[in-house]
Structure 1
Amino acid sequence: MSIEVNAVSKLYNAQKALDTVSVKIDKGEIVGFLGPNGAGKSTLMKILTGYISPSKGDVFVNNFSLKTQKIEAQKSIGYLPEHNPLYLDMYVKEYLQFNASIYKTPKTEVAKCIEKVGLTPEAHKKIGQLSKGYRQRVGLAAALLHNPEVLILDEPTTGLDPNQLVEIRNLIKEVGKDKTVLFSTHIMQEVEAVCDRVILINKGVIVADKKLAELKGNQDQIIEVEFDLKIEKQFIDQIPHLKSAANIYDTIWELTFSTTKDMRPVVFDFAHDNGLKTLNLTTKNKNLESLFRELTT
Structure 2
Amino acid sequence: MSIIVKNLTKVYDENLALNKISLSIQKGEIVGLLGPNGAGKSTLMKILSRALTQDEGEVSICNIDSKKNNLIIKSKIGYLPEKNPLYNNMYVKEYLNFVSNIYKIKDSRNRIMEIMNVTGLIKEHKKKISMLSKGFKQRIGLAATLIHNPEVLILDEPTTGLDPNQLIEIRKLIKNISKEKTVLLSTHILQEVYKICSRVILLNNGRIIDDKPIEYILENNINLENHFKDLTL
TM-score range for the pair, normalised by the shorter chain length: over 0.9
Q: Could you give the per-residue CA deviations for residues 71-116 of structure 1, whole angstroms, max 9, x where no partner exists?
A: 0000000011100010001000000011111111121100010010
Could you say which residue in structure 2 is the equivalent of 1:293? 229
Could you say which residue in structure 1 is the equivalent of 2:18? 18
Q: Give distance in 1, aligned partners of 2:157 and 2:196.
A: 13
Q: Give distance in 2, aligned partners of 1:287 and 1:186.
A: 15
Aligned-residue RMSD, C-alpha? 0.9
Structure 1 stretches of 5 or more lacking a match? 220-285
The equivalent position to 2:192 in structure 1, one of 190, 212, 220, is 190
Q: Could you give the per-residue CA deviations for residues 132-170 of structure 1, whole angstroms, max 9, x where no partner exists?
A: 000000000000001000000000000101010000000
Could you say which residue in structure 2 is the equivalent of 1:84? 84
What letter matches 1:139 in structure 2? Answer: G
Structure 1 segment 145-164 matched on structure 2, within 5 A = 145-164=147-166
Whether 1:100 and 2:100 are equivalent positions in the alignment is: yes
Q: Secondary structure of 2:23's partner?
A: strand
Q: Give distance in 2, aligned partners of 1:123 and 1:292.
A: 41
Q: Give distance in 1, aligned partners of 2:63 and 2:132.
A: 38
Could you say which residue in structure 2 is the equivalent of 1:39? 39
The equivalent position to 1:214 in structure 2, one of 212, 216, 226, is 216
Q: Secondary structure of 1:209's partner?
A: strand
Could you say which residue in structure 2 is the equivalent of 1:253? none
- The TM-score, its normalising length taken from structure 1, stands at 0.76
Structure 1 segment 91-240 matched on structure 2, within 5 A = 91-105=91-105, 106-107=107-108, 108-219=110-221
Structure with bigger RCO (C-alpha 8 Å, 6+ apart): 2
- The TM-score, its normalising length taken from structure 2, stands at 0.97
Q: Secondary structure of 1:59's partner?
A: strand
Q: Secondary structure of 1:125's partner?
A: coil
Could you say which residue in structure 1 is the equivalent of 2:27? 27
Q: Secondary structure of 1:24's partner?
A: strand
Q: Give distance in 1, aligned partners of 2:76 and 2:171.
A: 22
What letter matches 1:14 in structure 2? Answer: E
Q: CA deviation at 1:287?
A: 2.4
Q: CA deviation at 1:201?
A: 0.4
Q: CA deviation at 1:67?
A: 1.1
Q: CA deviation at 1:216?
A: 2.5
What letter matches 1:187 in structure 2? Answer: I
Could you say which residue in structure 2 is the equivalent of 1:50? 50
What letter matches 2:33 in structure 1? Answer: F
Q: Give distance in 1, aligned partners of 2:220 and 2:13.
A: 39
Could you say which residue in structure 2 is the equivalent of 1:223? none
State, as a whole percentage, how many aligned pairs show the same letter. 55
Q: Secondary structure of 2:100's partner?
A: helix
Q: Could you give the per-residue CA deviations for residues 237-257 of structure 1, whole angstroms, max 9, x where no partner exists?
A: xxxxxxxxxxxxxxxxxxxxx
Q: Secondary structure of 2:148's partner?
A: coil
* Paired residues, number: 231
Q: Could you give the per-residue CA deviations for residues 3-43 of structure 1, whole angstroms, max 9, x where no partner exists?
A: 00011111113211111100100000000011000000011
What letter matches 2:76 in structure 1? Answer: S
Q: Secondary structure of 2:155's partner?
A: strand
Q: CA deviation at 1:218?
A: 2.9
Q: Give distance in 1, aligned partners of 2:174 and 2:13.
A: 37
Q: CA deviation at 1:183?
A: 0.8
Structure 1 segment 62-73 matched on structure 2, within 5 A = 62-73=62-73
Tell whether the 8 Å contact from 1:192 to 1:288 is kept in structure 2 after alignment.
no
